[in-house]
Amino acid sequence: MSILIDESKKVIVQGITGREGSARAKLMLDYGTRIVGGCTPGRGGQEVHGLPVFDSVAEAAAKLGPIDVSVIFVPAPRVKSAAVEAIEAGVPLIALIADRVPLYDVLEICEVADGCGAKFVGPNTVGVMSPEKAVLGMMGGRAETAREWFHKGPVGIMSRSGGLSASTGYYICQTGIGISTICHVGGDAVIGLTFPEIALLFEDDPETEMIVMIGEIGGSQEEQVADLLESGKITKPLVAYVGGRAAQSGTRYSHAGAIIEGGRGTWAGKVERLQMAGATLVEQFGDIAETVQQLRQQASSFQ
């Protein structure tokens, strides 16, 4: 298994006739993702990379059967309508790639998704990858490099940073240890699937033996994961890195959601909370892969 995406899931690309949608659809296809078609209003009947294009998600579902995932490559102001269209057409998982999606649009997407039992990753995400199975979004850049950099294995990665998502996977794979799934949850203040939800999916995934979390200042996702560790709902070893150690209160640290407000979401508070809950904290990003390797070796020595 893996989480969220594998080679069996039927995927469509909304915005497939645009430059980004077309280029990323090719990456996903070449990597092995089961892309079955795309949607662009007014472009129905065309083909992109040999895939049929439909005017709507409902039309695609009627012709292709139930769709498991839609990856949305449309400009930020059009993300809400595209996401709602996919959810109302019965697609259970959506990936919102665009950044700068208006906050109130995301809140509306949350409400519609909750009402329909759907989930979404992002916005402002580079996507999700289950190595040697499938990729959603743009992780890896090109299929050839993605195959070279990542291989499957027992470590699940969740991250609020797109760049560090792939980098963490790359360096862990360089040690010979592979990855079950990499999930970039997105860097905005309001997102779909959060760290606690992804951590619980990894906990239930038999392929994942260890979780790596790339957090940062702002919000409370890291503290919520600490709560899950403390309550025993997460039992797998968790290695955590929290970015933004030097950030001052009121200063945004790169991502929209990475800001300390009213003394909440500080680096020190997150680190203390995670350490108290039993996570292994890494102060330098470059130490993550070595720490994962050491914990794996320690675990094997007790078996």
Q: Could you read off the pLDDT of 29-57 as tens digits, one per residue?
A: 999 999 999 999 999 999 999 999 999 99
Task: State the amino acid at position 35 in one-letter form.
Answer: I
- CB count within 10 Å of CB 164 equals 18
Cα–Cα distance measured from residue 8 to residue 133, given in angstroms and rounded to the nearest whole number: 9
Q: What is the pTM of this model?
A: 0.93
Cα–Cα distance measured from residue 111 to residue 64, given in angstroms and rounded to the nearest whole number: 27
Closest CA to 291 of 299, 131, 29: 299
Burial of 188 (0-12, 13-18, 19+ CB in 10 A): buried
For the chain, the C-alpha Rg in angstroms (whole number) is: 19
DSSP sequence for 35-72: EEEEE-TT-TT-EETTEEEESSHHHHHHHH---SEEEE
DSSP-assigned beta bridge partners for residue 239 = 212, 280
pLDDT of residue 254: 62
Task: Tell me the mean pLDDT per 10 residues along the chain, length 303.
Answer: 93 97 95 97 96 98 97 97 98 96 96 98 96 93 91 96 94 96 93 97 97 92 96 97 75 61 76 95 94 89 64
33 touches 27 (CB < 8 A) = no
Active site residues: 255
pLDDT of residue 196: 97
pLDDT of residue 250: 60
Cα–Cα distance measured from residue 214 to residue 61, given in angstroms and rounded to the nearest whole number: 36
pLDDT of residue 2: 86
**Which residues make Cβ contacts (< 8 Å) with residue 45, sequence separation at least 6?**
53
Cis omega (within 30 of 0) on the bond before 123?
Answer: yes
pLDDT of residue 19: 95
pLDDT of residue 257: 62
Unique residue bearing structure tokens 């662009």: 40
pLDDT of residue 244: 77
Indicate the angle between helix axes 57-64 and 79-88, nearest 10 degrees.
Answer: 30
pLDDT of residue 141: 80
Could you read off the pLDDT of 115-172 as tens digits, one per residue? 999 999 999 999 999 999 999 998 888 899 999 999 999 999 999 999 999 999 999 9
48 touches 56 (CB < 8 A) = no
DSSP sequence for 93-159: EEEE--S---HHHHHHHHHHHHHHT-EEE-SS--EEEETTTEEEESTTSSHHHHHHH--EEEEEEEE
Backbone region of residue 254 per phi and psi (left: phi > 0; alpha: psi in -120 to 50; beta: other values): left
Angle at 31 between CA 17 and CA 151, to 5 degrees: 150
pLDDT of residue 109: 98
Three-state secondary structure call for residue 264: strand
* DSSP 8-state class, residue 18: S
